[in-house]
Structure 1
Amino acid sequence: MSLKGNTSGKHKGKTTISKRGRKKLRALLFRVCMILVAKNSAFKALHAYFTQRPDNPLKKMQSLIALCNKLIRIFFSISKKQFEFSEEKMLKDIPHLAGSKKAELAA
């Protein structure tokens, strides 16, 4: 999954999801990620980090695509290594999110 921009010369158009890969799977992953951002605290924190980080913040669509890719990697590793999903393990990739999540769980 990736994004493509519709640009021509000085015109900068809307950024959309590229049409590579399986259409229904792409659409399903995007919808699932939107629900995960709304309902799951770990994905919500990751989305907030991606969109509000001080250096190189992502737009909302870019953040959702990044989360879709993260979800694919999570599914792959769960199926390959046969373990349960853990929010702490997912958030340890981003050091300041891992520290704040541990503080929330301790309280």
Structure 2
Amino acid sequence: MAHATRQAPLVTVKTKYQVTLPTSIRRKADVAVGDVLEANVEGKKITLTPKGLIDRELAFALEDVRKGRMYGPFNSPAEMVQDMKKRVAERKKHRT
């Protein structure tokens, strides 16, 4: 007996070129809101590849760097801790 081949789910490109990933695809790829996907084009084929937690954290860190939300560099872990304690003390002063 021949089995019917299941077609892949279709998505529609919406305004601002947004697409919604079908639930079956999201579950298979283990994609959640806020995940980072790498987009590639091969000919006319578009592929979206979920990036791992480290890649996601790296993306957030790079965004912090771009927005100037960073401190350092530090010459040692002790120097970093000292700077953090100083910043905490400054914040406490401004709260009261």
The question of a shared fold, defined as TM-score above 0.5 by the shorter chain, is answered with no
TM-score by length of 1: 0.23
Larger radius of gyration: 2
Q: Could you say which structure has the greater relative contact order, defined with CA pairs below 8 angstroms and 6 or more residues apart? A: 1
- The structure with more helix, counted as a fraction of residues: 1
